[in-house]
Chains A and B, each alone.
Chain A
Amino acid sequence: MRNLLKYFKDYKLESILGPLFKLLEASFELFVPLVMAQIIDTGIKSRDMGYILGRGGILVLLGIVGLACSLTAQYFSAKAAVGIGTRLRGDLFRHINTLSYNEIDTAGTSTLVTRMTSDVNQVQAGINLTLRLFLRSPFIVFGAMIMAFTINVKAALIFAVAIPLLSIVVFGVMLITMPLYRKVQKQLDQVLLITRENLLGARVVRAFNRQEDETAKFGQENDTLVRLQVFVGKISALMNPVTYVLINGAIIVLIWTGAWQVEEGVITQGEVVALVNYMSQILVELVKLANLIISISKALACANRISGIFALKSTIVEKSGDAYNGSGPMPSATGSEAVPKVEFRNLDFYYAGAKEPSLSRISFSAMKGQTIGIIGGTGSGKTSLVNLIPRFYDAAKGAVLVDGVDVRDYSLSGLRSKIGIVPQKAVLFKGSLRDNMKWGKKDATDQEIHRALDTAQAAEVVMSKEQGLDLMIEQGGKNLSGGQKQRLTIARALVRQPEILILDDSASALDFATDAALRKAIREDTKDMTVFMVSQRATTIKNADQILVLDDGKLVGLGKHQELLENCQVYREICLSQLSKEEVAQ
C-alpha cells in the first residue's frame, strides 16, 4: 500500500488545494441558515424590505462564491486523480513487462489484465471522490453542530446526541449488510456456474437426459439467491425509515427545547428555524458519507491488489555489469566448431512452489546445424526444457550454455535475439501481416519476410488473401484458421534468421502433408540453424539428428530413431501406439 502513496507527491498541490476549496464551499453553505434567521428576526420583525433584499443578495453571493470554490476543487481533484491514474497505469504496465514467466504463471494473465484496467480505474475514481468529498461531509456534520453551539448550547446538545445515534444506525446498517451482500454475490456466482456448466455441457446433459434435474438444481440455487437478496433487502430497507425517525424526533425535541428558550428570551424564532435547518442538513451528509466510505473501501481494496502486483519481483535477474550481449568476443572459446550450440549440464528445474522437479538431471549437447527432436507424454517436461534455453525460467541446479556461455551471463536481449521461438499456442497480434512479421526483426525487408513465409509453407496463406503483406490480422488472429496461424508464427520466428529455432509442438494443426513439407523446407533453407522440435507425433521427430525422450521430467532416451527403438522402452511404446510395426521399422 505504501508504495502507492508516492504517486501523490507529484500532485501535492492539487491534492491539498482540492479538499481546501471544498471546505471553503462547505463553510459558505453553513452560513445560509444563519442569514435566513437574520431575515426572519430582523427583516420581518422590523418590516425592513431593504434589509431583506440585502440579506437575499448575500445569499446569492454565498452561492456564487461557493460555486466558484467548488469548481476549483473539482478541477484540482480531477487533475490529481486522472494524473495519478495515468501514471499508475503506465508504471504497472512497465512493471508487468519485466516479470518473468514464473510470476506470470503465478499471477495469471486475466488477473493482470483486471489489475491494469478496472482496478486502476476504481483507484482513480476513488482518489477523485476522496479528494472531493471525504472532508466535506464530516465538515458539514460537525460544522452544523458547531453553528448550533454558537446559537444556543442547550439546543446544540441535542445535536451532540443525535449525531452519534445517526452514525450508529447508518454505519451499523452498512457494516451488517456488507458481508451479506458479499454472500449474495457468491450465490450469484453459483448461479452463474450452473448456467455456464449447462451451456458447455449441453451435449452431455442431453445425452444423459438430465435436463429436468439440472433445471431443478438451478431453481434451488436461484431460490437461495432470492431468499438471501430479500433478507439483505429487509435490513438495508431499515436505514431510511430509522434515520428519518431519529432526525425528526430530534427536531421535535429541538422545537420543544427551543420553545422554552424563546419563552425565556434566550433565543429568537428565526434561530429556532435555523437550528431545524441545520438538523436537516446533517442527515443528507451522513448518508453521503456512508456511500463514500463504501466506494473508498472498494478503491482501497483495488489499490491493495495493485500494490500486490508491484510487490512481485522478477526472479530472472540480468547479470549486472558485464552481461554478455551475444555478439562480441567472450573470454571462453566462442565460435569454435567444437563448442556445442546449446548444452544442458546436469540440470534440475522446479516450477515456483513445486515440490517435485519438472526436469531432473538433464544433460545433452546440440551442435550447430543439428535438428533435435523432443518427445514424451503430457507433463513430461518438453516445453519446460525448451523454455530454459531463452532463459524464461532459471534452473535450480546445473546450467544451460549457449555457445559455451552460461545463459545467466548473457543480457536477456542478447540471448533472446539469437533464438526464434514458435510457441505452442499460435498467437498473432492485431495489425498488418507485415507488422506481425517484423516482431521477429524490426527492420526486416519484404523480401526477407517473403522468404520466411515460403519456408514456413505460409506463402499460400498470403496468396489466398490477396492483400499480400498488408493483410490486416484481427485481434488474436481470429480471421485465420488454426493451421494458418501456426504457419505464420513459424514464419515470424524465421524472419530473424535465428541461430536457434524452437518449435514447441507448433505443427499440431497442420495436416500431415504440410507438416512434412515444412520440416523438409526448414532442413533445406536453414542449414546452420540448430532446430529444437517438440512434438507428440513420432513421425515429426523420427528423422531428427538426436531425439530426446522425456518421461516424467527425466531424460530416458537420447539418440537416433533406430537406436532408441532398440534400447528405449518409452520411445518404443510411443511409436507403437501411433504407428504399425512395419511403419516403426521403416
Chain B
Amino acid sequence: MKNKSTINPHASGRGGTAAHESQAGTLGIPECMPPNGRQTFIVKRILDYIGHYKWGVLLSLCLAAVTVVTTLYAPILIGDGVDLIIEAGNVDFERLKAVLWKMAAVISITAVSQWLMNHINNKITYHVVEDIRTKAFGHLENLPLKYIDSHPSGDIISRIIADIDQFSDGLLMGFTQLFTGVLTILGTLGFMFYVNAWIALVVVCVTPVSLLVASYIARKTYAMFKRQSETRGELTGLIDEMLGSQKVVQAFGYEEDAGRRFEEINERLRGYSLQATFFSSITNPATRFVNGLVYASVGVTGAYAAVNGLLSVGKLSSFLSYANQYTKPFNEISGVVTELQNALASAARVFALIDQEPLKPEDGDAVELEDARGNVGLEHVYFSYNPQVPLIEDFNLQVKPGQRIAIVGPTGCGKSTVINLLMRFYDVDSGCVKVDGVDIRHMTRKSLRANYGMVLQETWLKSGTIRDNIAYGKQDASEEEIIQAAKEAHAHSFIKRMPKGYDTVISEDGGNLSQGQKQLLCIARVMLCLPPMLILDEATSSIDTRTEIRIQKAFAKMMEGRTSFIVAHRLSTIKEADMILVMRDGHIVEQGNHEALLQKGGFYARLYNSQFAGT
C-alpha cells in the first residue's frame, strides 16, 4: 500500500493520459475507470518489451498447449488400460501392451515439451528483465540531478532492484501458470464432458464450493493480516528506534521502560498473529475437504453410471484423477492473479522512473569547450529549487582567470547551489553562466565538466582498486602518472603502506579508509587530470590535524594558476581569496574581499567575529 501512495502522483498523471489514449484507440476503456486504464497501459508497455521475443513467446504458447493436452490424455490412457484388466482370466495383454506403449510416448512428449517451455519462459523473462533494468539504469545516468537529489536513493534503488525482481517473478509465474492453468481447466472440462456429461456436471457444480470457501477465508483473514502487519510495523518501529539508539537508551537508563513498551506491543502482536496464522491455515484443509467431497460424489455417481453400464471402470478411474486435478489450477490461478497484480504495481513504479523526463538534449550547435582560460561570469542569475521559494536572485559575478573565490556561510546555507550551477548540474532559471564568454548552455555538458576539477567534502569512491579510483577521470593514465598524481596529493605514502599498495581494493564507499585518506584520493583523482578550473569543498571537521595540513598543501598546489571556487571554512583560505561570496539561507548576501567585507560591518563581519575572534 505504501508503495502505491508514493508513486501515485506520477502514475495517476500518466494513467489519466493513458486512459484517454486508449479510449481514443481501439481498447475503449471507459473514462470512469482510470485505474483499469492505467493497468491496461502498463500491460501494453510490458507487452512492448516482451514483443522483442515474440517467436519465443509463440513457441512457448504452443508447447504449453501440447503439454496440457498430453497431460490430460494420460489419465484416459490409464483408464483404457484398467479397462483391459477386468478379472482373472480376462486380461487382454496384447491391447494393454499397445496402450502402455502409447502412454510411454505421451509421457515423453509431455516431459520434453514441459522442460522446453519452462526453459523458454525463463529465458524470455530474464531477458525482458535485463532489458528493462538496463534501460532504467541508463536512464538514471541521464536524469537531471534534480530528480536524484529530490528522491531518496533507497527508493530509486528499490525500483531498479526489488521492483524489477518482483516484476520478473510475476511475469514468470504468469507465463508458466496462467496460460497452462486456464488451458488445463478448459481441457479437463472438455475431456470430462466428452466422456460423461452427467458426472462432469457434478464436478462442475461442486468444485466452485472450494473456491468460495477459499476466497471467503482469504477475505476474513485479510483484516487479521492487516492488523498483524500493522502491529508488526509498530513493533519494528520501536525496535528500530531503541536498538538504533541503544547507546542513548543505556546512557539514560531507559532499558526497563523500553522493555515495558516492547512487551505491551509484543503481547498484542501475539494475539493478532495467532488469529492470522490459524485462520489463514484453514484454507488448505478446507479446500482439501471440498475436494474430498468432489471425489466422493464422482465416485458414487460414477459407480451408479457404471452399474447401469454407462461407464467403464477405467473411465471411472480417469474421472477420479481428473476430479483430483481439476481444482488445482484454480488455486494456482488465484495465486498468479495476486502475483500479477504485485508485478503490475512494481512495473508501474519502474516505468514511473523510466518515464521521468531526461536531461534536455544538448543544443544542436553546442560547442566543445577546449582548455578554458578560466573566465567565469554569472550574469543576472536567478535560480531556485522550488518556484515558491526564491533562492538566488539577480546574482552577478565576474571571475578572471586564476582568481580564487571563497564561498562562506553557515552550514546548510546553500553553498552547494553555486557548485550545482557552475557544473551545470542544474540549469539557471534565468540569466546565464558563461565560461570564456560563452553561455554554458551552448556547450556540451561533457566538455564543460571536463574543464572543471571537483573535490567535494562528501568523498565518493568507487568499489575497486585505488589505482582505478585515481584514474577515474583519465582511464588511459600510465602507472607513472598515477603515482605522480598520488604523490602530489600527498596520498602516495599511505597508499604504499596499504597491504597491496595501489592494487588495494576499496570496499563500498571506501569503508576501509579514513575520511582524510578518502579526501586525499579524491584530490589525487583530480590531480591526474588537472583541468583549468577547480571547485573545492574544504573539510569542516573530522580530519586529524596532520592530514588536514597535507590536504591544504595539496589544495594549494592544485590551485596554482587556476580559477578556483572554494567552499571555505578556514580563515587562511578566506583571507587569501580574491573574492568572498557570503551566503545565508540560500542567498548571496555579500560579496567582496576580506577587508571590504569587514569594513562593511554586515553579516560577514558578525560571522567573522563570532567564529574567529573568540569570546
Interface residues of B (CB under 8 A from A): 74, 78, 81-82, 84-91, 93, 96, 100, 103-104, 107-108, 110-112, 114-115, 118-119, 122-123, 126-127, 129-130, 133-134, 137-138, 140-142, 145, 148, 153, 156-157, 160-161, 165, 232, 235-237, 239-241, 243-255, 258-259, 262-263, 266-267, 269-270, 273-274, 277-278, 281-282, 284-286, 288-289, 292-293, 295-297, 299-300, 303-304, 306-307, 313, 316-317, 320-321, 324, 410-412, 423, 425, 445-446, 449-450, 452, 454, 456, 460, 462-463, 472-473, 475, 508-509, 514-516, 525, 529, 541-549, 570-572, 575, 606-607, 610-615
Contacts and interface: CB of A to CB of B under 8 A. Distances in A.
B267 A86 contact: yes
Interface size class of A (residues with CB under 8 A): 35 or more
Interface in A534-586: 536-537, 539, 542-543, 570, 573-574, 577-580, 583, 586
22 contacts: A56-B300, A67-B285, A86-B267, A97-B249, A112-B246, A117-B232, A193-B463, A202-B145, A203-B145, A210-B472, A244-B107, A249-B107, A262-B86, A262-B87, A263-B88, A265-B89, A379-B544, A430-B241, A511-B410, A539-B614, A578-B570, A580-B571
B545 A207 contact: no
A104 interface: yes
Given A210-B472, A421-B251, A204 B161 contact: no
Contact of B313 (A40, A277, A509): A40
B206 to A, nearest CB: 12
Contact of B516 (A226, A245, A378, A429): A378
A207 B543 contact: no
A437 to B, nearest CB: 11
Interface stretch (A43-51, A152-160, A330-338): A43-51
Contacts of A70: 284-285, 288
A1 interface: no
A462 interface: no
B100 A255 contact: yes
A361 interface: no
A245 B111 contact: yes
A63 B251 contact: no
Interface string A190-211: 0111111111111111111111
B96 A259 contact: yes
B53 to A, nearest CB: 13
A208 B472 contact: yes
Contacts of A579: 571, 612, 614
The winner among B108, B274, B286, B425 for most chain A CB atoms within 10 A is: B274
Nearest to B281: A74
Contact of A244 (B87, B111, B321, B449): B111
A327 to B, nearest CB: 15
B607 A512 contact: yes
Contact of A580 (B161, B281, B612): B612
Given A206-B423, A219-B134, A262-B87, 7 more contacts: A93-B262, A99-B246, A104-B246, A117-B235, A241-B111, A508-B541, A511-B411
Interface in A480-523: 481-482, 492, 508-509, 511-513, 516, 519-520
A192 B515 contact: no
B100 A270 contact: no
Contacts of A116: 239, 243
Contacts, number: 416
What are the 9 A-B residue pairs with the smallest beta carbon separation, nearest first?
A377-B544, A265-B88, A233-B122, A237-B118, A63-B292, A59-B296, A241-B111, A56-B300, A70-B285
B88 A199 contact: no
Interface in A11-69: 25, 32, 36, 39-40, 43-44, 47, 49, 52-53, 55-56, 59-60, 62-64, 66-67
Contact of B243 (A109, A237, A256): A109
Contacts of A86: 266-267, 269-270, 273
A20 to B, nearest CB: 15
Nearest to A99: B246
Contacts of A215: 134, 137-138, 141
Contacts of B611: 512, 539
A113 B238 CA distance: 10
Nearest to B136: A195
Interface in A392-428: 392, 412-413, 416-417, 419, 421, 423, 427
Contacts of A60: 292-293, 296
A203 B423 contact: yes
A263 B91 contact: yes
B84 A199 contact: no
A226 B546 CA distance: 48
Q: Interface SS of chain A: helix, strand, loop or mixed?
A: helix
Contact of B615 (A191, A475, A516): A516
Interface string A297-308: 000000000000
A537 B564 CA distance: 26
A204 B544 contact: no
Contacts of B115: 237-238, 240-241
Contacts of A511: 410-411, 610
B161 A188 contact: yes
Contact of B270 (A83, A196, A536, A570): A83
B605 to A, nearest CB: 13
Nearest to A540: B615
Contacts of B456: 203-204
B393 to A, nearest CB: 23
Q: Interface SS of chain B: helix, strand, loop or mixed?
A: helix
A49 B304 contact: yes
A248 B107 contact: yes
A368 interface: no
A325 B307 CA distance: 92
Contacts of A519: 615
A199 B158 CA distance: 12
Contacts of B516: 378
A251 B78 contact: yes
A520 B544 CA distance: 28
A384 to B, nearest CB: 13
Contacts of A188: 161, 165
Contacts of A124: 273
B239 A113 contact: yes
B450 to A, nearest CB: 6
Interface in A220-263: 222-223, 225-226, 229-230, 233-234, 237-238, 240-242, 244-245, 248-249, 251-252, 255-256, 258-260, 262-263
Nearest to A273: B317
Contacts of B610: 511-513, 516
A71 interface: yes
A440 B124 CA distance: 60
B59 to A, nearest CB: 15
Contacts of A421: 248, 251-252
A465 B281 CA distance: 50
B85 to A, nearest CB: 5
A289 interface: no
Given A204-B456, A272-B85, A52 B303 contact: yes
B357 to A, nearest CB: 16
A456 interface: no
B346 to A, nearest CB: 15
A325 to B, nearest CB: 12
Given A94-B259, A417-B253, A577-B570, A269 B425 contact: no
A539 to B, nearest CB: 5
A439 interface: yes
Contacts of A104: 246-247
Given A63-B292, A67-B289, A203-B454, A475 B460 contact: no
B365 to A, nearest CB: 20
A454 interface: no
A172 interface: no
A169 to B, nearest CB: 12
A376 B248 CA distance: 24
Contacts of B243: 96, 109, 112-113, 116
A241 B292 contact: no
